[in-house]
Every structure is written in structure tokens, then in C-alpha cells.
Amino acid sequence: MLTTGKLALCVTLFVIAVSLIEACVLTHKLRGTAARFDWYEVWISLADVAGRKLLAFLPLSLAAPVFALAWDHRLFTVTLNSALMLFLLFIGQEFCYYWYHRASHRIRFFWATHAVHHSPNQLTLSSAYRLGLTGKLTGSAIFFAPLVWLGVRPEIVLATLSFNLLYQFWLHNTWTPKLGWLEYVFNTPSAHRVHHASNVDYLDANFGGVLVIFDRLFGTYVAERADEPCRYGLTTPTRSRNPLVVEFEHWVSLARDVASASSVWTAIRYVILPPGWQADGSGDTTESLRERNLAARRTVPVSTPGR
């Protein structure tokens, strides 16, 4: 009988194997074209997943004591003994995931880890398991603590999150077309391509895990458009082939900004405000990028007679 650890390892190896098959197919398909397949992106993702497997044995997690506190002071003790309870757990987990994911884009402290996931300049299945080494250290799982407080056992909350992430594996591709009515309810490859795109119109959109209902409810859903092809990666692309640079470059830049802050409050704002924020107003946040993009669209070129 497979233990939980062995099952997780088998799933990881399966996911990696499928991603490598896709990589081989795309290498053949794109050979001789301008859009060549970049195997370095795959190697960096493999280094990331290997590093996380090694760090998993370290008892370092900011979320662990929060989960313990929430469980000790839980309101109920939930028994998952019916389809309704499983459905409610699924919806509750999806709600928490939405806010975890949105915060990971809008709070620089969490973005320093999550940016690693968005660093590939091509979107392939291997992008799915490049998640960043510092997730446990930042305690991002605290966004799921409300489920524990309501009475769901911590191990069940984490297992449900694992299934959510496993579902998202297949979303990381460019070859699945739009899926009709499913686009209105479920997170699909098309919706997730938008999420991974660095186009200004697509930034900070489609945060759902399995569903997009909370994106639609809270105004963050953006559909993929034929007239706006997705450009993958970060707004300032990561070009390094060094996995350590990819993993820690955003932490280094955050530390540099905090160290150079003129006051404690400014240092705190660098940590909690969106990526790109600068105290002097010169930064490139999503909002400032959209303002400049809108201003550029409003500029109508003046025609010159005779041209």
C-alpha cells in the first residue's frame, strides 16, 4: 500500500514525465521556426521541484503554528460524511485559494516567491511545477487557516490544496483551444494563459484554481482575445539561466528597497504594497502600467500631408 509520501512522489514523477513528453513534442514541432523551444526553462523548473522536495524535510513553516492555533480554537469539528460537505469544502477551499493567489500578486512579500512561477518566458507544462523555494517560509498557507478554524482538519485542508494544484497542471499549455461554455465556470488553459501573460491588459487576472466564479464575482476575470496574443513571463523578463538567480532575484530586490528606505513606514510599504511600487512614484505597478498604456492609446498620430 502506498504511503502519502510515496503517492506524492509518484504523482510528481508522473507530472514531470508528461511535461518532458510535451517538451519533446514541442521541440520537434518548433524546430526551424523563430519560436524555438527553450529547454533551459525546463531545467530550471526541474531544479525548483528538486529543491522543494529537499526542503520539505525542514520543519520551517510560518503557517504551521497558525494552523495549530486555528485548530485549537476551532468553532466546529467538521465531518466529511456527505456529498454536500465535500462540495462545501471544495467551494471554501476555492474561495481561500482565490484570495491567496490574488494576494500573491498584490503583496510584494508573497510575490517574491510567486514571481518564480511566472518567470518562464514560455508557457509549458513544466511551468506548472516551478513554484519557488520559499513558499513555506513566507507562510502563504495561512490563507487557508479559516477552513481549519471552521473545523476542517489541517491535513485535509492541505490535501485539498494539493488536489487543486494538481488540477492546474494541465492548464499550463498553449495548444488547448478555448473550451466553450466551460470557460464561464472553470479555470481553463485559455483563462490561465491570460493569467501568465505579461501584456498590460492581462495583468492581475484569473486568480481562481479550479473555478473562475470568484474572478467573475470580484471583477478579476479577463478573457483571452485573438487580437491580443499572450506574451509570457514577467513585465521585466527574467533572462538568467542560473536557478539561484531565478529563485532569489525578487527577494534581493525587495531587500535592497527595504534597506534603502528613508523611514520604517516606507520600508513596510515596500513589503506590503504591490510589486513595482516605489516611494518616489517612479515604479511600474499594474495600475501605472495601465495608465500609461491607456494614455498611449489615446494619442492619435498627426498625419503629415504628402505621406
Q: Are 121 and 232 in contact (CB under 8 A)?
A: yes
102 within 8 A of 207, measured Cβ to Cβ = yes
In a domain, 182, yes or no: yes
Q: Is residue 298 part of a domain?
A: no
Residue 266 domain-assigned (yes or no): no
On whether residue 307 sits in a domain, the answer given is: no
Q: Which residue has the cell 498584490?
A: 106
pLDDT value for 299 = 78
Please give the helix or strand (H or E) that residue 162 lies within, else none. Answer: helix 154-168
pLDDT score of 56 = 78
Q: Sign of the C-alpha dihedral, residues 90, 70, 114, 11? A: negative
In the chain, the amino acid numbered 162 is S
Q: Write out the residue range of the structural domain in which residue 12 sits.
A: 4-247
Band (pLDDT 50/70/90 cuts) for residue 242 is very high
- Domain-embedded: residue 156: yes
- 280 pLDDT band (50/70/90 cuts)? very high
Predicted confidence (pLDDT) at residue 181 exceeds the cutoff of 90 = yes
Q: What does the pLDDT read at residue 300?
A: 54
Asked if the model's pLDDT at residue 177 lies above 80, the reply is yes
Is position 304 within any domain? Answer: no
**How many Cβ atoms are within 10 Å of 78's Cβ, its own excluded?**
18
Q: Is residue 127 part of a domain?
A: yes
- In whole angstroms, give the CA distance from residue 172 to residue 19: 10
What pLDDT does 184 receive?
97
What local confidence, expressed as pLDDT, does residue 32 receive?
Answer: 83
Per-residue confidence at 304, pLDDT binned at 50, 70, 90? Answer: very low
pLDDT at position 307, please?
A: 35
Q: Residue 241 above 60 pLDDT?
A: yes
Residue 298, pLDDT > 90, answer: no
Q: How confident is the model at residue 4 (pLDDT cuts 50, 70, 90)?
A: confident
In this prediction, residues 277-287 reach a mean pLDDT of 94
Stated pTM of the model: 0.94
- Residue 284 lies inside a defined structural domain of this protein: no
Number of folded domains in the chain?
Answer: 1
The chain-wide mean pLDDT, for the chain, equals 94
pLDDT per residue as tens digits for the range 59-76: 778 889 999 999 999 999
